[in-house]
Structure 1
Amino acid sequence: MDLDVLVDESYFSALFDYDEVFPISDVNYASELHLQEALFSSLIASAAKINNHPQIQRSFTTVIKQEPVVKIENEPLEPSRRLCMICMDEKPSSDMFRGSVTCTHAYCTQCTIRYVANKIKENSAKIKCPDVDCTRSIEPYMCRDLIPKDVFERWEKILCESLISSWDKLYCPFKDCSSVMILDDVGGNNANVTQTECPSCHRMFCAQCKVAWHVGVGCEESQRYGNTKKKSSDEEDALLVQMATNKQWRRCPSCKFYVEKVDGCMHIKCRCGFQFCYGCGSVWASNHACQIRT
């Protein structure tokens, strides 16, 4: 604190300004001077106390130098309820879900769960936003805690398979397994490898014939004459074909796997990614109009 300023403003102004207007006597002047000296001594003592207490001094300075308060307008709050464009119901904002940080479309949790689960049933690896004009995809990690664990694990499997081209993958020939495997060094030194073990069911099969492993028999001989296991496999295949015919199953024109339509339209997307019509078996097109109803 500047004591000189205090002296200039308090002491001398009180001492000289007053008698410029009203002349005073010597007695009054002496009394007034004595009073001003007492005030000045008290002011100096108060300033010394403030200097000996930094916290008081900081508080004193803070009060003096406090900036005027600027009023900030409140930002608009998110509405408490929002409209889900799938079920067309108003839901609490806390129940709305966005599938991507870059997507602005939000849908209620229940509709999102059903939508994602249906897409996974269709073997869709990339699930886009439900909005028809949006090209953003739903991120798997954002709905991990929403959908059931077994459904999410199936989605993970589909995603892994989608990263492998059709030329580099092989399916286990055993019908109760059908696990996908990667063909290493396709067309290279390992192109003639036959005996292979499925990493899932740990059963042996021939990678060339795509049947159960024919022990002691070459591929050509096995295909020409067959053996006990192959005959058994052929019998099973015959039973499968008969069952597929009776139940009106369709065979994928690409990977030859049988597909059963439980419900929905005729548009089928196979696990291999090929799309075809379940009614006539032809390649699916946006303008396809099948006359066959199953």
Structure 2
Amino acid sequence: MFTCEICAEEKLVSDFFRIQGCNHSYCTNCIAKFVATKVDQNTTSITCPSSACDVVLEPQNCRSIIAQKVFDRWSEALCEAMIPSPEKFYCPFKDCSSLLINDSGEFVVESECPVCNRLFCAQCKVPWHSEKTCEAFRRSGSGESSREDVMVKNLAKDLKWMRCSVCGFFIEKLYGCDHMKCRCGHAFCYNCGATLIAGHCNRCG
């Protein structure tokens, strides 16, 4: 038997989970819930639950105790985090939103999503605007002109969702502090929208 440091319950040795690199004792159930919560919060570097320990957990070491969908999301998030922010963006079609990468170094305008096969503007990050240049499109403010986009904006305003200033993705906070991390890796304050510097908001303190 051993005592889990999270739930403080006596557990069988068969429920013991050891994090490689530290000596803290947790049960598999608590670690599985801990990892799932962190993944839901878009945390890629998950450390030992102990506040005094900075040992990082690896997806492969937790694979046997976490759900497959949690493992897949965690692995994908780690892969995305390795891609420089200027090279990645997401398909602008809401029913796709696939991660796209431009690592060619070339100036790309009209492009096709390899997942949904629809055309979009790689500069404006919107569906392809065939009748306007990028400059004219931005001046016209057409990026939010569709009825669906207007509805989403109104809903976001009513529910107080925040929008990432980097990729434009709407984020809803269900619980926890105001320090948010978007799927694109941008960290910002949910209260005011300011970019976090070293995990700190200079506006809200």
TM-score, normalised relative to structure 1: 0.61
Call closer, same or farther: CA 1:178–1:84 in 2, change over 3 Å.
same
Deviations 1:244-278 (A, max 9, x none): 11111112344332110122333322223333332
Call closer, same or farther: CA 1:120–1:195 in 2, change over 3 Å.
same
**Of 241, 245, 252, which aligns to 2:153?**
241
**Of 58, 68, 86, which aligns to 2:6?**
86
Distance, in Å, in 2 between the alignment partners of 1:98 and 1:233 is 53
Give the equivalent residue in structure 2 for 1:3.
Answer: none
Number of aligned residue pairs: 203
Which structure carries more helix by proportion?
1
Gaps of 5+ in 2: none
SS in 2 for 1:280: coil
Give the equivalent residue in structure 1 for 2:109.
Answer: 194
Deviations 1:53-83 (A, max 9, x none): xxxxxxxxxxxxxxxxxxxxxxxxxxxx111
Give the equivalent residue in structure 1 for 2:34.
Answer: 115
Q: Which ranges of 4 or more aligned residues in structure 1 deviate by more than 4 Å?
A: 221-226, 230-233, 283-291
**Of 152, 161, 180, which aligns to 1:268?**
180
Give the equivalent residue in structure 2 for 1:183.
Answer: 102
SS in 2 for 1:167: helix
**Of 39, 50, 60, which aligns to 1:141?**
60
Distance, in Å, in 2 between the alignment partners of 1:224 and 1:275 is 28
Give the equivalent residue in structure 2 for 1:56.
Answer: none
Question: Which structure carries more relative contact order (alpha carbon 8 Å, separation 6+)?
Answer: 2
Question: Which residue identity does 1:99 align to in structure 2?
Answer: I
Distance, in Å, in 1 between the alignment partners of 2:203 and 2:109 is 43
Distance, in Å, in 1 between the alignment partners of 2:203 and 2:127 is 40
SS in 1 for 2:11: strand
Report which of the two structures shows the higher radius of gyration computed on alpha carbons. 1
Which structure carries more strand by proportion?
2
Question: Equivalent pairs: percent with the same residue?
Answer: 46
TM-score, normalised relative to structure 2: 0.85
1:1-294 map, 5 Å? 81-100=1-20, 102-186=21-105, 190-191=106-107, 193-215=108-130, 217-223=132-138, 233-284=145-196, 285=199
